[in-house]
Amino acid sequence: MSSRLHAHVGTLRQLEILLAVHDQGGINGAARALYLTQPTVSTQMKKLSEAIGAPLYHVVQRKLVFTDEGLELVRTAVEVLDSFARLDQTLSNMRDLKSGTLRLAVVNTSQYFIPHLLGPFCERYPGIDVQLKVGNRQQTIERLRQGVDDFYVFSHPPRDIDTQSIEFLDNPLVAIAHEDHPLATRKRLSLKDLAEEPFLIREQGSGTRHAIEEFLRERGAQLNFRMTIESNEAIKHSVLSKLGISILSAHTLTYGGSAGLVKLPVRELPIMAHWFFVWSSTTRRTVIASEFLEYVQEEGRQALQTELTRN
């Protein structure tokens, strides 16, 4: 006997509201994003919860934490809405149009160059909508597990999830200091020269920290971790305030500005990493996602690499 759950789960609009609550992290954010009232959003979430016979989320320290049932419904909502999106894209393509939604979830450091990759693509296809979610490595891995985006950008893709990927850009990690720092005048440095300096490092879960710790472990080296800071921009400003030195992706300087900062000529650096576009092996790509992947492979990464080399 076929399932009749669809007769109870609700309307497509309710599924859209569910995804907004999930992506915005709460009722208030979803209401703002969808131009609805908070009571309207709360009512629709209550109806969905009643329909599946289980709570969609719990409130823990003022944050919504989705239940397993809620996450399963989120995944299903993405599939259902993407089915309609694919139909819309197919009909648009039949009229020689390009439309639809491209969903990207990227780690923090990649936010410096992803807009430069998206710009020309969106110029070519002005009718598409782009949803860009920025988080640290662990947050982006969690979105990959949930399968709610078309592509994910990592410097160190997870190995315990069934994915496909392409390597598309170098990600050199370089040491930086204030331009007046004593080490800034040295022509040659080694890791040992950095060992006693106050070192500013990204938080646990960050891809940059992961790469630095792995690099140091392989060499049996240590740095004087003095401060843990949760954003590249905050680290740059802290270095500018002479609170210490750091190691960051060269992209944070190329695209984010480097006034007042210098790269330190450390013999063992840069740490050579790479950026990857990753997607779930179990998720069917939309038309616009396929177009974007083709663009990245044929044009986008070469344009970014040229710009990095020039800088």
Q: Which comes out higher in pLDDT, residue 285 or 275?
A: 275
Per-residue pLDDT, 138: 86
Higher pLDDT, 192 or 156: 192
On average, the pLDDT of the chain sits at: 86
List the chain domain ranges. 1-97, 169-274
Q: How many Å is the Cα radius of gyration of the chain?
A: 22
Would the pLDDT of 7 be above 60? no
Please name the fold of domain 169-274.
Answer: D-Maltodextrin-Binding Protein; domain 2 (3.40.190)
Question: For the residues 203-225, what does the mean pLDDT come to?
Answer: 88
Of residues 289 and 205, the one with the higher pLDDT is: 289
Q: Which residues of 123-135 are buried (b: 16+ CB within 10 A; e: fewer)?
A: eebeebebeeebb
* pLDDT(96) > 60: no
pLDDT tops 80 at residue 8: no
Task: Using the predicted structure, report yes or no on whether residue 104 has a pLDDT greater than 60.
Answer: yes
Domains 1-97 and 169-274 equal at CATH topology level: no
Q: What confidence score (pLDDT) does residue 149 get?
A: 92
Q: Is the model's pLDDT at 2 over the cut of 70?
A: no
For residue range 123-148, list pLDDT tens digits in order. 888 888 899 999 888 889 999 998 88
The C-alpha atoms of residue 293 and residue 143 are separated, in whole angstroms, by 19
| CATH code for residues 1-97 | 1.10.10.10
Question: Mean pLDDT across the stretch 81-97?
Answer: 71
Distance CA 293, CA 167 (A): 12
| Closest to 247 (Cα-Cα) out of 205, 211, 196 | 211
pTM of the model: 0.63
Q: Is the pLDDT of residue 282 over 90?
A: no
**Average pLDDT of the residues in 201-227:** 88
Average pLDDT estimate for 150-176: 89
